[in-house]
Structure 1
Amino acid sequence: MDVSSRLGVLTSGGDAQGMNAAVRAVVRTGLHLGAEVFAVDDGWQGAVDGHIRALAWDDVGSILNRGGTVIGTARSADFRTRPGRLRAARNLLERGIDRLVVVGGDGSLTGTELFRTEWPGLLEELVATGGLDAATAAAHPELFVAGLVGSIDNDMVGTEMTIGADSALHRIVEALDAIASTAASHQRTFVVEVMGRHCGYLALMAAVAGGSDYVLIPESPPAPGWEEEMVDKLRESRAAGRRESMVLVAEGARDRAGAPITAAYVRGVLQDRLSEDARVTILGHVQRGGAPSAYDRWMSTLLGYAAAQEVLSAEPGGEPHVVGVRHNRITLLPLVEAVSATRAVATAVDAGDYAGAMAARGSSFTEMVRTYATMSRPPVATAPGPRRRVAVLHAGGLAPGMNTAARAAVRLGLDRGMTVLGVNGGFPGLIDGDVVELAWHDVEGWVGEGGAGLGTRRAVPEVEQLYALGRAIERLELDGLLIIGGFNAYLAAHRMVTERDRYPAFALPIVCVPASIDNNLPGSELSIGADTALNNIVEALDKIKQSASAAKRCFVVETMGRRCGYLALMAGLAAGAERVYLPEEGMSLAELATDTERMVASFRAGRRLFLAIRNETASDLYTTDVLARIFQEEGHGLYDVRQAVLGHLQQGGNPSPFDRILATRLVSHAIADLAGQLEAGTAEGRYLGLVGSDVVAHPLVHMDEEVDLSARRPRHQWWLGLRPAIEAVSRQGTPAGEALPVLRA
């Protein structure tokens, strides 16, 4: 790589939470690689006007937690004209910039591609008119670009998530939770409009996460007569005991004839046909505002890290790329194809090709449309034959989202003709027969509640308890078992499967669903509860960092996770920690000495805050207290040291939108698996998990081959490959031009 490279970064179009994380990562990765980095303020308009400035390492410090974009954004009419693009080219080349990372939506990226293809002609015209000397033009014959998709709508085809979409979903679901409480108090109906001109992602996922009654999205317009269907669903919900009703409308929703469906129209329908005073709430730009979620911090950091590498290593004649997310990994998408495919969705909707529009959104989007259609109506058993008895229990530590999972199990189980039994207090409750039949009204309000209404226990049945457990299963006449929990839940299920020869009662379908903030379960890259815990940690770290603003201070923060470092590493990425200590790596005195020397040197150079995050079991001897004392002693009064053990706040709070969606999706597959086994007469034991973007089932009998039982974690953990990004974006002073690992699938 040419260390004389000059790299520009700009944010364009509508702002999106997480843009600052991407900008920070681009700047620091570029500096790490030896490039000079420049901010183009206010998007392409800043390029036209020449608002371009050099950035140093500290210029992008303390911005991870800020919404919007610190380098500004705009929708530039000037850049749409050739004279405007001529000025932009001249202004960039006056500073020697011919490599750009552009963060924006499909319109911004379309303009970027046009600018790139016009570049040789623009330079030729500038030379001919005296606006640029020939030598400069010859030195920069090609413009190299990489795109990052900043769009809360999550509307770019080919990438599973765009920068800002998760944060926007947080804002929407927070609003729905608040609205639901006042709506229930008055038995009132609310119509809520959310953003999404051509993409129904926010409306659909918010409807799933918020437990709404009806949703209208652009890709799947309702059939003629939908108004009566909507009214009937709301009547059924009220008859089933629900006190509030909620209808979500994407701003781009329309009917099959192409006529817009507005929130005001829906309100009028409800008032006329339900004789009820419906209220309208248009969330508007609140969806763009506020601090970014943990996901939009760590994933945007990885995207910016990869984009800087991509554009700085680009070779002449190469194809420009959008850096996106696929299967939870960084992926490169041809820029032209990605933008074209995205715009084709809007074209398909306008042409009435709704099947094509849905297909373009991907299988998981289509799957959630089907799941929501079932979840949003009162259950009606459709399965023929006798009702099969399926028990739902939690085991292991508490994980936010357990209630969401149990609610989905009841709703979907009833729809398949099952009698769903709730087990109170985990396996001890099952042994004691503390079991109750669950109806829809028992769990209907659990969609966003933290905790576990059924309770959970960490106890794994001992060998001497297996007989009693078998007798309880026989006494309750169970036909299947759904276990939602953590590592101990999996151990208990594995024991039951491997002991079937001795205890025939265990020969029934058993399905495990991962729910653990530690994210240490085999067969799933993400567990229910981990995202909520990470958001809790990042929120706490924001406050901790703010408390240090008046002094020079080092904070040592301890996170949960047992012997899995997921929470610590991802919190380090999301919060901008300078050092993260993981149990997978261990700790040594030599490393601590090096870390201390770097810390002291950085404070002497003007640093005001140093954040170190330590997993609770990173070392048995180098505890959080010992670490803080070492750092304090070696500082000799240069800075203060404080420690914070976050504790059980990581398990508390209402589940995040992601955890609600994940819980619903995993349980949907689990209930389908149990129903299929009951119909086929099989009795397999399985654990389900999210692998990439797919839900995959694994045999319980082979679980021990996938885990390190002594460390209680999977043998392979995908997120460990993200460690180099922390080095690149958090540690100043590493050698310029040093090679960095590429984080692509």
Structure 2
Amino acid sequence: MSSEKIVAYTPPISPLTKPEPERYSIGVLTSGGDAPGMNCAIRSVVRESMARGCTCYFIKEGYFGLVTGLFEEATWSSVSNITNQGGSMIGSARCEEFKTKEGRKKATLNLFKHGVFHLIAIGGDGTLTGANILKEEWGTIVAELLASGAITAVQADAGKDLRIVGLVGSIDNDMIETDKSIGSDSALTRIVEAVDSIAATASSHQRTFVIEVMGRNCGYLALTSAMALEADYVFYPENPPNPDWPDVLCGRLEAMRKIGKRLNLVIICENCHDTTGNRIEAEAVKTQIELRLKYEVRTAHLGHLQRGGTPSFLDRLLGLRMGFEAVREILRSDIDSKADAKVLCLKGHAIVKCNMTSALNRTKRVAEVTRTGDYDIAAELRGRGFVCKQTFMKLISTPPVEDLSSTLKRLLIIHIGSPCAGMNSATMAFVRIAYYSHVSVYGVQGGWNGLKKKRFIDLTWASVTGWASQGGSALGVRKQLPTDLDEIAAAIDEKQVDGICIVGGFEAYMSAKILTENRTSFQAFNIPIVVVPASISNNVPGTCVALGSDTALNEICRQVDNIRQAAVGSHNKTMIIETMGGRCGYLTTLSALATGADGALIYQKPHDESEIRRLAQIAKQKTSTKSGEKYIMMRSEGASDIYTSADVKRLFDEELKATVACRLNILGYSQQGGSPSCFDRQMGARLGIRAFEGLFWPQKMGKRDCCVVGLRGRTIKFVPVSGLTEKVCTRHRVPLMLWWLDLHPLVEHLTYQNNEKA
């Protein structure tokens, strides 16, 4: 299927964006089930519409509001302070009347009354199907309204075209063509949080829990959460079990208990059947386990808990990007009257526009092939990532059936850098796939110093149980580079190591580089080496996203939300919030976008005293309004050598002249802690497995046997360390190419109106 890549955020974007030649009216609606992150999309739609000189209308209560005429003109301030709110601020509802031709005729007439011929629909496949039908019938309905006298010829000519762009907002993530839908990551966050809470009591009592999750006909939530939670078994539509599933399930759970696991966890999608079509309910699973194993079993139906709560960082950012691009796309001159409706999809880090009809048809095909028993095709339609997760889930959840009697290779795994979420998940997956391949894994405690002191531990399948949910580093991590290479080489020789996996940040990359550069001096280093990037700063070359950064961004969003809320009762308050990251402004930029902050000071965007004073004047202007607005400035700890966060506060105080209180908040090491996010858990497992594959089959790494294994676009790839030397600034510890830097102009663009704060 054809899709066209959208040029991502061409900088610079000025607050004084030139208005469109003609003032259009753009309508935005949310329909069907609500999803966290929708409000971020609405905010972007409204503000980008106004920045382009257009009028934006809220169409409240979804298609019900479209049919009944619930239109309200949006203002810049009407979407202030909503990024942390779940649900939909304009209401979302299903409407049976819109499914009829007469209902769509009413909707069309209401669009004419308000002059809205550009419509952005946010929702799942039902919402987008309704929008697509309206687009297809538009010409016929307009002719009928003209013939009946409901509209004039002038109106009919003005509204002869209806331009529609759809955004996928659904926690199920069941729309083909997009890697992620708005709301799906937040739903996974809720599932992981709930099961983490259940795990403590379940483990204490040696209980088995059967957790039912949403998903309708899509197993994305069930499969991804099962992988992140180290579930023992998972039921989902794309891979239904045979009728003898009770035997297989109970055998799996019994094997887990024998190796010492106290908690058994079964994840089941809400709409599951076996291969003969018999429905499988959570209660039926519970009954089979109780009858066959006599275990104490509890069920938990998470239900609408998965829809609620604060949006996760990823959903905030996705909603913001989608809403912004939707306005740009709907106003593009290449959309003519004959153009089909478009749906925006996320593929890797790029947003692409796809034909809505084709996307909907491919989505329907998944359900069709599932009903006919073509389950492999159903999984393939879900995408390569879905298929990989199926394979990875089997590798890390199936208990060993034999001892590691014959060892084919011996591998070493070591944590280097600063502790972060995802390190343990990568290690867990690495160890478990190694165990099945008859490979011994030695863990090194305490980094390179620990290796010199030969602080080895044997890592087995059972010993890494529960590691995925643990933050930090279970092996112990040190921010150091390898020294005394003769001692390190001796330790490697003693264990007859055949390959090294280094999990960590910039120091991990530099360590791999040092080892390879000294291969001529030390034969022990002539072995395959793979770096798994793990750093909250996301400054490791060779990958778009490093492990730990998602968890850190979620923690920053949570703290900024709390700081903003604490200031609600105070008048005239400005907040300066410092994040970690050193010279890399990744955390600062993306947290500013996700929280709706007013600015982001980073090293990549130089700023002097005059710029800081300009920002202080804007803060003064914004906080002096009667609406009680607050001003929040995010700043990276390494944004400037001249002006520290304390200096920025001092300059703000001088400009604010005691009329506005300025507070400095340094988030510090809290950004490194916390339970790993679902993204970091499952991505850690994926990277750990690929790292093992590179060490076990070095030919998979290509011509070089020392690589960084990282996420590049939509796929996980091996990138030779030797090829990264010219692509990184060693002095400042950042890659030279930063994909996220194009997003930085959006911070002010979606905050300023006519160079003033609304």
TM-score of the superposed pair, with normalisation by structure 2: 0.94
Partner of residue 18, structure 1? 37
Which amino acid is the alignment partner of residue 384 of structure 2? Answer: S
Pick closer, same or farther for the CA change 1:31–1:729 going to 2, 3 Å.
same
Shift of 1:3: 3.9
**Where do 1:566-645 residues align within 5 Å?**
566-606=586-626, 608-645=629-666
Shift of 1:621: 1.6
Which amino acid is the alignment partner of residue 416 of structure 1? Answer: S
Instruction: State whether residues 508 and 683 of structure 1, in contact with CA within 8 Å, keep that contact through their aligned partners in structure 2.
Output: no
Question: Partners of 1:51 and 1:515 in 2: how far apart?
Answer: 48
Question: Among residues 149, 154, 171, which one is paired with 1:135 in the alignment?
Answer: 154
Question: Among residues 570, 576, 582, which one is paired with 1:562 in the alignment?
Answer: 582
Shift of 1:82: 1.4
Shift of 1:601: 2.9
Moved more, 641-650 or 113-122: 113-122
Moved more, 119-128 or 670-679: 670-679
Partner of residue 474, structure 1? 493
Shift of 1:320: 2.0
Which amino acid is the alignment partner of residue 368 of structure 2? Answer: T
Partner of residue 653, structure 1? 674
Spell out, residue by residue over 1:146-187, the C-alpha distance to the aligned partner (whole angstroms, 9 max, x if none). 000010001110000000000000000111111111111111
Alignment of 1:518 with 2:534, yes or no, is no
Question: Partners of 1:208 and 1:495 in 2: how far apart?
Answer: 34
Spell out, residue by residue over 1:439-487, the C-alpha distance to the aligned partner (whole angstroms, 9 max, x if none). 222210211011211000011123xx11111111112222211110011
Unmatched tracts of structure 1, length 5 or more: 737-745
Pick closer, same or farther for the CA change 1:585–1:681 going to 2, 3 Å.
closer
Alignment of 1:230 with 2:230, yes or no, is no
Partner of residue 281, structure 1? 300
Question: Partners of 1:566 and 1:597 in 2: how far apart?
Answer: 26
Alignment of 1:345 with 2:366, yes or no, is yes
Pick closer, same or farther for the CA change 1:311–1:679 going to 2, 3 Å.
closer
Partner of residue 506, structure 1? 525
Partner of residue 5, structure 2? none
**What number of residue pairs does the alignment pair up?**
734
Question: Partners of 1:365 and 1:725 in 2: how far apart?
Answer: 31
Which amino acid is the alignment partner of residue 181 of structure 1? Answer: A
Alignment of 1:316 with 2:313, yes or no, is no
Moved more, 606-615 or 142-151: 606-615
Partner of residue 743, structure 1? none
Question: Partners of 1:591 and 1:231 in 2: how far apart?
Answer: 65
Pick closer, same or farther for the CA change 1:678–1:305 going to 2, 3 Å.
closer
Instruction: State whether residues 381 and 415 of structure 1, in contact with CA within 8 Å, keep that contact through their aligned partners in structure 2.
Output: no
- Give secondary structure in 1 for the equivalent of 2:753: coil
Question: Among residues 419, 427, 431, which one is paired with 1:406 in the alignment?
Answer: 427
Question: Among residues 127, 135, 140, which one is paired with 1:121 in the alignment?
Answer: 140
**Where do 1:451-466 residues align within 5 Å?**
451-462=472-483, 465-466=484-485
Spell out, residue by residue over 1:498-528, the C-alpha distance to the aligned partner (whole angstroms, 9 max, x if none). 1000111111111110000010011100011
Which amino acid is the alignment partner of residue 358 of structure 1? Answer: A
Spell out, residue by residue over 1:311-342, the C-alpha distance to the aligned partner (whole angstroms, 9 max, x if none). 12243332321111001221111111111111
Instruction: State whether residues 536 and 547 of structure 2, in contact with CA within 8 Å, keep that contact through their aligned partners in structure 1.
Output: yes
Which amino acid is the alignment partner of residue 412 of structure 2? Answer: A
Shift of 1:678: 9.7
Partner of residue 210, structure 2? 191
- Give secondary structure in 2 for the equivalent of 1:441: coil
- Give secondary structure in 2 for the equivalent of 1:447: helix
Which amino acid is the alignment partner of residue 502 of structure 1? Answer: S
Partner of residue 739, structure 1? none
- Give secondary structure in 1 for the equivalent of 2:653: helix
Pick closer, same or farther for the CA change 1:606–1:579 going to 2, 3 Å.
farther
Question: Partners of 1:326 and 1:710 in 2: how far apart?
Answer: 33
State the identity as a percent.
39
Question: Among residues 716, 721, 742, which one is paired with 2:737 in the alignment?
Answer: 716
Question: Among residues 108, 119, 126, which one is paired with 1:107 in the alignment?
Answer: 126
Question: Partners of 1:486 and 1:59 in 2: how far apart?
Answer: 41
Question: Partners of 1:620 and 1:320 in 2: how far apart?
Answer: 50
Pick closer, same or farther for the CA change 1:679–1:635 going to 2, 3 Å.
closer
Shift of 1:606: 4.5
Question: Partners of 1:230 and 1:135 in 2: how far apart?
Answer: 67
Question: Partners of 1:9 and 1:632 in 2: how far apart?
Answer: 40
Question: Among residues 688, 711, 715, which one is paired with 1:690 in the alignment?
Answer: 711
Question: Partners of 2:407 and 2:420 in 1: how far apart?
Answer: 34
Question: Partners of 1:77 and 1:576 in 2: how far apart?
Answer: 36
Partner of residue 740, structure 1? none
Question: Partners of 1:683 and 1:305 in 2: how far apart?
Answer: 41
Moved more, 252-261 or 240-249: 252-261
Shift of 1:704: 1.3
Shift of 1:127: 2.3
Question: Among residues 464, 472, 475, which one is paired with 1:443 in the alignment?
Answer: 464
Alignment of 1:5 with 2:31, yes or no, is no
- Give secondary structure in 2 for the equivalent of 1:332: strand
Question: Partners of 2:59 and 2:272 in 1: how far apart?
Answer: 35
- Give secondary structure in 1 for the equivalent of 2:280: coil
Instruction: State whether residues 613 and 652 of structure 2, in contact with CA within 8 Å, keep that contact through their aligned partners in structure 1.
Output: no
Partner of residue 742, structure 1? none
Question: Among residues 258, 265, 270, which one is paired with 1:239 in the alignment?
Answer: 258
- Give secondary structure in 2 for the equivalent of 1:442: coil
- Give secondary structure in 2 for the equivalent of 1:436: strand
Which amino acid is the alignment partner of residue 418 of structure 1? Answer: V
Shift of 1:96: 0.9
Instruction: State whether residues 426 and 689 of structure 2, in contact with CA within 8 Å, keep that contact through their aligned partners in structure 1.
Output: no
Shift of 1:68: 0.5
Instruction: State whether residues 380 and 415 of structure 1, in contact with CA within 8 Å, keep that contact through their aligned partners in structure 2.
Output: no
Partner of residue 95, structure 1? 114
Which amino acid is the alignment partner of residue 118 of structure 1? Answer: E
Question: Partners of 1:701 and 1:58 in 2: how far apart?
Answer: 51
Shift of 1:278: 1.5
Partner of residue 76, structure 1? 95
Instruction: State whether residues 603 and 638 of structure 1, in contact with CA within 8 Å, keep that contact through their aligned partners in structure 2.
Output: no
Which amino acid is the alignment partner of residue 499 of structure 1? Answer: N
**Where do 1:728-739 residues align within 5 Å?**
728-734=749-755
Partner of residue 725, structure 2? 704
**Where do 1:484-499 residues align within 5 Å?**
484-499=503-518
**Where do 1:204-223 residues align within 5 Å?**
204-223=223-242
- Give secondary structure in 1 for the equivalent of 2:465: helix
Alignment of 1:271 with 2:290, yes or no, is yes
Spell out, residue by residue over 1:707-744, the C-alpha distance to the aligned partner (whole angstroms, 9 max, x if none). 111121111111111123223312222499xxxxxxxx
Spell out, residue by residue over 1:647-706, the C-alpha distance to the aligned partner (whole angstroms, 9 max, x if none). 000000111000001100001101111111399999922211100111111222333122
Spell out, residue by residue over 1:182-206, the C-alpha distance to the aligned partner (whole angstroms, 9 max, x if none). 1111111111110011110000000
Pick closer, same or farther for the CA change 1:317–1:678 going to 2, 3 Å.
closer
Shift of 1:383: 9.2
Question: Partners of 1:309 and 1:637 in 2: how far apart?
Answer: 41
Shift of 1:101: 0.6
Question: Partners of 2:513 and 2:242 in 1: how far apart?
Answer: 47
**Where do 1:45-84 residues align within 5 Å?**
45-84=64-103
Which amino acid is the alignment partner of residue 249 of structure 2? Answer: M
Question: Partners of 1:508 and 1:683 in 2: how far apart?
Answer: 11
Instruction: State whether residues 701 and 718 of structure 2, in contact with CA within 8 Å, keep that contact through their aligned partners in structure 1.
Output: no
Question: Partners of 1:5 and 1:678 in 2: how far apart?
Answer: 56
Unmatched tracts of structure 2, length 5 or more: 1-19
Question: Partners of 1:458 and 1:277 in 2: how far apart?
Answer: 45
Shift of 1:144: 0.7
Question: Partners of 1:647 and 1:593 in 2: how far apart?
Answer: 25
What RMSD over aligned residues (CA atoms) do the two structures have, in Å?
1.8
Question: Among residues 35, 45, 50, which one is paired with 2:54 in the alignment?
Answer: 35
Question: Partners of 2:312 and 2:701 in 1: how far apart?
Answer: 43
Question: Among residues 349, 360, 376, which one is paired with 1:355 in the alignment?
Answer: 376
Question: Partners of 2:744 and 2:339 in 1: how far apart?
Answer: 29
Which amino acid is the alignment partner of residue 593 of structure 1? Answer: R
Instruction: State whether residues 381 and 416 of structure 1, in contact with CA within 8 Å, keep that contact through their aligned partners in structure 2.
Output: no
Alignment of 1:150 with 2:162, yes or no, is no
- Give secondary structure in 2 for the equivalent of 1:470: helix
Shift of 1:308: 1.1
